[in-house]
Structure 1
Amino acid sequence: MNNISPLAYIHPEAKIGDNNIIGPFCYIDKNTVIGDNNILQNNVTINYGARIGNNNEIFPGASISTKPQDLKFKGEDTTCEVGDNNSIRENVTISRGTASKGTTKVGSNNLLMENMHVAHDCVIGNGCIIGNSTKFAGEVVVDDYAIISAVVLCHQFCHIGSYVMIQGGCRFSQDIPPFIIAGKEPTKYCGINIVGLRRRGFSNELINNIHEAYRLLYSKGILKEGIEEIRKKLPVTKEIEYIINFVENSKRGIIR
């Protein structure tokens, strides 16, 4: 049974699961789907096209599936998908997709801190922590377990790898490869995210191999030559292959 404040508005075409708490002054539009066991505190807006899973907590002022801030958007029927077990804090805004991809996706078990923005057609993985007032432009991809500090500005189409730690206040327009710390001005490679990797159960041997992979990669002026050195000198585990594939498939280039 849902606990819905009489001061909330829910469109009759909205689909609401079971055991949800919907606080006063929430607004839930048509063409929305909300699963089970979610908590929507007061003044939460769930806009047209939202698809929200289970066990999420959404804090006051958050607006999910907002109209894209993209002048190319012509009102096409798109969605915004949010997984399970997310904490979406005060004043977070997540836009729905455009004709480019059709949907914006936020995975599960993420913490999206106060006042951060996820633009149209972004894809956010699982287990990410994204700091206060950080802004993602359109079609950014963030892989699992990334930690992105406060007031970070990310250019459209960038790709952020898994297990990274990005320093607060960074701004960048290139991809950030996995397992590293990125920081300073301009944003650059600052070493391996050793503490984060150890917390996630990476062995010392694997951490050493990741460190050596980046030493070889960045020791060459041409990244292709660095990748050749990695393949020659290191066991190509799934983590090393992930680094190689990330760099080879980067469209914007990686930070150096």
Structure 2
Amino acid sequence: MARIHPNALVHPHAELDDDVEVGPYTIIGPHVRIGAGTRIGPHCVIEGHTTIGRNNRIYPFVSLGLASQDKKYAGEPCQLIIGERNTIREYSTYHIGTVQGGGITRLGDDNWMMAYTHLAHDCVVGNHTIFANNAQLAGHVQVGDWAILGGFTVVHQFVRIGAHAMTAMCSLLFADVPPFVMVQGQPARARSMNFEGLRRRGFDNERIAAVKAMHKALYREGLTLAQAVERIEALLPRHPQAAGDVALMRDFLAGVNPQRGIVR
């Protein structure tokens, strides 16, 4: 049976798997489902149509699944879906989606979410990300796998952050951040590529060389975005081992909104 503290309030219709632990004074609503091995600290609030996977660690004073702060939200049964093996630290707030944004806010697997992080409605966060303290996402933001957001990073609505990207502390994002790019500033500007992070994840020299060439095409040769995409696609014959990395960049750039653009 789930280990529920006697001072917790768990609605009888909530679905808690075996081996779930719930701390004192935590409140869990009727439409919540929680997978085995997840531990929830004291004074948390989990409401709405919220699904939490296996083996997550949720620290005290976290708020999950409450109604979005979108004024258009009218009480529709939208969702918050959290994957497996995530760590969510104190005072984090993750809201359900909205009908206009697809209805789901989603956090993937193996993410390390520090204190006071915020996922607004309809955000989609991938796997293996790190959000430092007070990293904040407005609505409809997308964050790719292995991205790292520095403390006090603030992201405007509808912005996309590519896989393996990294933001410095106090970065302010109004435009898309392509994969592998490191940004800093208010507003944020591209400073380099996340080479050290890529090496730690096992990128070999050829893949690193391809990332360097993509950085050069985007930021060092004065090309338009369309010209940079052509230059990046031309890297494939010279860097066959980096075909997946080139495709990742090409596909990301194909989805850039011309009115928003990318960080420069």
User: Which runs of no fewer than 5 residues in structure 2 stay unpaired?
Assistant: none
Residue 172 (structure 1) aligns with: 173
Structure 1 position 210 matched with structure 2 position 225: no
Is the Cα contact below 8 Å between 2:174 and 2:187 reproduced in 1? no
User: Which runs of no fewer than 5 residues in structure 1 stay unpaired?
Assistant: none
Residue identity in the other structure for 2:147: A
Q: Equivalents in 2 of 1:246, 1:223: separation in Å?
A: 12
Structure 1 position 242 matched with structure 2 position 248: yes
SS state at 2:106 partner: strand
Q: Which moved more, 1:110-119 or 1:235-244?
A: 235-244
Q: Equivalents in 2 of 1:246, 1:16: separation in Å?
A: 38
Q: Which moved more, 1:232-241 or 1:243-252?
A: 232-241
Structure 1 position 147 matched with structure 2 position 148: yes
Provide the TM-score with structure 1 as the length reference.
0.97
C-alpha distance after superposition, 1:160-212 (max 9, x if no partner): 00111110100011000001211134311111111100000001111111111
SS state at 1:85 partner: coil
Shift of 1:137: 0.3
Is the Cα contact below 8 Å between 2:154 and 2:173 reproduced in 1? yes
Residue 67 (structure 2) aligns with: 67
Residue 231 (structure 2) aligns with: 229
SS state at 1:138 partner: coil
Following TM superposition, the consecutive aligned residue runs of length 4 or more in structure 1 with deviations greater than 4 angstroms are none
Is the Cα contact below 8 Å between 1:57 and 1:86 reproduced in 2? yes
Is the Cα contact below 8 Å between 1:166 and 1:181 reproduced in 2? yes
SS state at 2:139 partner: coil
Shift of 1:233: 4.4
Q: How many residues align?
A: 256
What's the C-alpha RMSD, in Å, of the aligned pairs? 1.1
Superposed, 1:65-144 pairs within 5 Å as 65-100=65-100, 101-144=102-145
Shift of 1:151: 0.3
Is the Cα contact below 8 Å between 2:188 and 2:263 reproduced in 1? yes
Alpha carbons of structure 1 residues 165 and 128: separation in structure 2 relative to 1, 3 Å: same
Shift of 1:105: 0.3
**Identity in percent:** 35
Is the Cα contact below 8 Å between 2:48 and 2:77 reproduced in 1? no
Provide the TM-score with structure 2 as the length reference.
0.94
Q: Equivalents in 2 of 1:234, 1:189: separation in Å?
A: 24
